[in-house]
Amino acid sequence: MRRPSLAIKLLLAAFVLLAFGAVAVHAAPAIPTQPADPALQVPLPGNNQDPGTNLSILALFTLITLGPSLLIMMTGFTRILIVLGFLRNALGTPSIPPNQVLVGFSLFLTLFVMGPTFSQMNTQALQPYLDGKMDAKTAIQNAEEPLREFMLKQTGRSELAMFVKLSRQPVPKSAEDIPLTTLVPAFMISEVKTAFQIGFLIYIPFLIIDLVVASTLMSMGMMMLPPAMISLPFKLLLFVLVDGWSLLAQNLVAGFHT
């Protein structure tokens, strides 16, 4: 089995911390210090400071830096956000809902979809590591397994084969031998491809409404009236009648479980 590189280890470590909001600094006994002014009880770093604290602070800054990238690269966030963007454009409301609403909705829907995966990572890697029952290397390897399983399930064979070929490495004997440097880009391409396919299906009913409204206005000789102004209420009415938000969320979540 191919050992993960140092960069991949750092990525997985930061991702585990991001997924579960683990504290970066472990509980440690207070460090006795001698303040210059007894009235000011300000703890100052001493020579007996725990070296692990510096490493924990470094891990915290790594988490803050790599967290957003990991969220986009290794979860369903990309697919969900792109689909919601297609829906907004298909409705003809490019600024409603606002970007903040779409990103927030995508984030919490992603946490809902990734819940089982995060739970496995917490049980198999994070908690044993925090309890001191497992070293960091073993914890990273255990955290990689459920995440790898999720990405492999959502990655198309053609995209995976393409990146295996582009890597110019020996063909892996099993899925466990595929390095994350090959799996992650294949997963991202598959997510974007799936999102565009869903977006095409979303556009069809709204496109039919636009064609009907445009043809009706042209037959009535009302060429100066923008068709989008007339079709927008009908689009909103159709979307509300079919309970579009619930239907879309249901199908997005179901798409990750099939």
pLDDT in tens, the chain (258 residues): 444 454 455 455 555 444 444 333 333 444 444 444 444 444 444 444 454 566 667 766 776 777 677 777 888 888 999 999 999 988 888 888 888 988 888 888 888 888 888 888 888 877 877 777 777 778 777 877 888 888 888 888 888 888 888 888 777 777 777 888 888 888 899 999 999 999 999 989 888 888 888 888 777 777 777 777 788 888 888 888 888 888 888 888 888 876
The residue with tokens 């915290």 is 60
How many alpha carbons lie under 13 Å from residue 176 in its C-beta half-sphere? Answer: 6
On whether the CB atoms of residues 75 and 11 are closer than 8 A, the answer is: no
Long-range Cβ contact pairs of 49-52 (< 8 A, separation 24 or more): 52/26, 52/28
**Domain residue extents for the chain:** 6-18+60-194
Of the candidates 257, 216, 254, the one whose C-alpha atom is nearest the C-alpha of residue 234 is 216
Query: N- to C-terminal Cα distance for the chain?
Result: 28
Euclidean distance between CA atoms 179 and 48, whole angstroms: 41
Of the candidates 142, 178, 146, the one whose C-alpha atom is nearest the C-alpha of residue 75 is 146
Of the candidates 78, 72, 93, the one whose C-alpha atom is nearest the C-alpha of residue 15 is 72
On whether the CB atoms of residues 81 and 103 are closer than 8 A, the answer is: yes
Q: How far is CA 47 from CA 15, 50, 54, 77, 137, in A?
A: 32, 9, 13, 45, 29
Q: At what angle do helices 51-74 and 180-219 cross, to 10 degrees?
A: 40
